[in-house]
Amino acid sequence: MKNLMDKYPRVLDLLPKAKKRLPHFASEYLFSGTGYDLAIKNNTEILKNIFLTPKYVQGVVEPKLKVNLFGDIYDAPFGVAPVGLTGLIWPRAEKYLAKMSVKNNIPFALSTVACASIEDTAKHLDGRGWFQLYPPDDKSIRNDLLKRAKSSNYKVLVVTADIPASSRRERLRLAGVSVPPKNNLRTFYHAAIRPSWSFQTLTNGLPKFGTMDQYMDGNWHGTKKVKAGFAGSQMKRFLDWDYLKEVKDIWKGPVVLKGVMHSDDAVKASRIIDCIYLSNHGGRQLDLAPSPIQILPEVRKSLKKDFPIIIDSGFYSGQDMCKAIMLGANFVMTGRPFFIGIAALGEIGAQHVHDIIKDEIQNVMEQVCCKDIKSLPKEKLSINNNYYLKDLN
């Protein structure tokens, strides 16, 4: 029998199987962008136009992939981006991803609106988790979330900035996706023709917001009821620098600002927090947004040389990730690829996606004779691309 790597040597080789096992509404939830899907398509298209020029004759090359972020050493320069309503995609996904991240010493960021709670997921994280905060308007809820994450030993806080409006999610409307999911004939039909998903969902229970649910029942310290449509209601739509400073003071640990897309914001944020996370939310928020990789060189130039930059949106392979690191990112996160793996293969799918990406990075580095991931940007490579990387000299 073929081993997994021979059967699925690239993340996208898992896609047909994932699509076959996901109900239509779950698949649309995972794979849709917003508007006309321009940003999501551009995210992957733009990466195809970046090439690396190898230098050879470097003697023995045993590439080092380890990266130091906030004083912690990770075994590879990539991690799992925060994804909400995870259980709609695949039940227990947070548990699978948390375990995989600890086993392989890479970060996993738990979303505020994931289905498993801060506390339940922490049981699998060995004190190494990252927590993503959709900043609540109600500061008492915010402070409680931070307290819960801290006392559950999460290390790094990721504050998401890019939801000044909830996106229109046209494809989700068409697919009839709602939060919570509707119990109607259409949903039942789509679930019924995907038996693995339905079986897992029946044994795990319907998706819920594990962390946020307690604030939604109207009983939490007498606060008013939080609507399930979180992005448009309770979450802080208009984040400001003072709020961010307060979060940094309360957290007393590394804070990352996610969703930064402009070098002005990057420079301002770098005076308050510890790391910039370039992202267009995987093309799910502003359909007009460029790919973060298009603004990466400019942002890199505008920040101090050693100020860390994380990037995501459209990175489906180790090759893609090498390109981001080459252009000045310190670390790459990825969202959909891990869920493609889980949807296709269950728990081992998370591990397999990790193995594919790590293997690809290692191979690129060997191919270009690069001994250490840290030297990828400056020493070994150049770029063949002439239409958008004007800032790269």
Ligand X SMILES: Cc1cc2nc3c(=O)[nH]c(=O)nc-3n(C[C@H](O)[C@H](O)[C@H](O)COP(=O)(O)O)c2cc1C
Out of 28, 287, 312, 320, point to the residue binding ligand X (CB under 6 A).
312
335 sits near ligand X (criterion: CB under 6 A): yes
30 sits near ligand X (criterion: CB under 6 A): yes
Size of the site for ligand X (CB under 6 A): 23
φ/ψ (deg, to 5) at 278:
-75, 130
Of 164-172, 182-190, 275-283, 364-372: span binding ligand X (CB under 6 A): 275-283
Q: Pattern of binders to ligand X over 33-72, x per CB under 6 A?
A: ----------x-----------------------------
**Could you tell me if 80 and 334 are in contact, meaning their C-beta atoms sit under 8 angstroms apart?**
yes
CB of 158 to ligand X, least distance (A): 7
Out of 27, 121, 160, 294, point to the residue binding ligand X (CB under 6 A).
160
Out of 194, 281, 352, 358, point to the residue binding ligand X (CB under 6 A).
281
Out of 282, 292, 318, 349, point to the residue binding ligand X (CB under 6 A).
282
Residues in 189-208 at the binding interface with ligand X, rule: CB under 6 A? none
**Could you tell me if 189 and 183 are in contact, meaning their C-beta atoms sit under 8 angstroms apart?**
no
83 sits near ligand X (criterion: CB under 6 A): yes
81 sits near ligand X (criterion: CB under 6 A): yes
The residues, ordered by sequence, that sit 6+ positions from 280 with a Cβ below 8 Å of its Cβ are 39, 43, 162, 259, 261, 286, 289, 290, 291, 292, 313
Q: Residue 390: which region, alpha, beta or left (left: phi > 0; alpha: psi -120 to 50)?
A: alpha
CB of 31 to ligand X, least distance (A): 8
Out of 128, 194, 336, 352, point to the residue binding ligand X (CB under 6 A).
336
Residues in 95-154 at the binding interface with ligand X, rule: CB under 6 A? 111, 113, 132
HEC letters along 25-63: HHHHHHHCCCCCCHHHHHHHHHHCCCCECCCCCCCCCCC
380 sits near ligand X (criterion: CB under 6 A): no
**Closer CB to ligand X, 353 or 370, in the complex:** 353
320 sits near ligand X (criterion: CB under 6 A): no
Which ranges in the chain belong to alpha helices (H)?
A: 4-7, 15-21, 24-31, 38-47, 86-89, 93-104, 118-122, 139-151, 170-175, 185-192, 195-204, 213-216, 241-251, 263-270, 292-302, 318-326, 336-345, 347-367
**Closer CB to ligand X, 35 or 84, in the complex:** 84
Q: Kindly list the distances between the CA atom of residue 106 and the CA atoms of 213, 354, 387, in Å, as whole numbers in the listed order.
A: 28, 9, 34
94 sits near ligand X (criterion: CB under 6 A): no
CB of 252 to ligand X, least distance (A): 21
d(CA 59, CA 280): 40
Out of 63, 79, 82, 87, point to the residue binding ligand X (CB under 6 A).
82
d(CA 124, CA 99): 6
CA torsion angle 243 244 250 256 (round to 10): 160
Residues in 243-272 at the binding interface with ligand X, rule: CB under 6 A? 258
Of 68-76, 166-174, 280-288, 352-360: span binding ligand X (CB under 6 A): 280-288
Out of 101, 117, 270, 279, point to the residue binding ligand X (CB under 6 A).
279
DSSP state of 232: G
Site for ligand X, rule CB under 6 A: 29-30, 43, 81-84, 111, 113, 132, 160, 258, 279, 281-282, 284, 312-315, 334-336
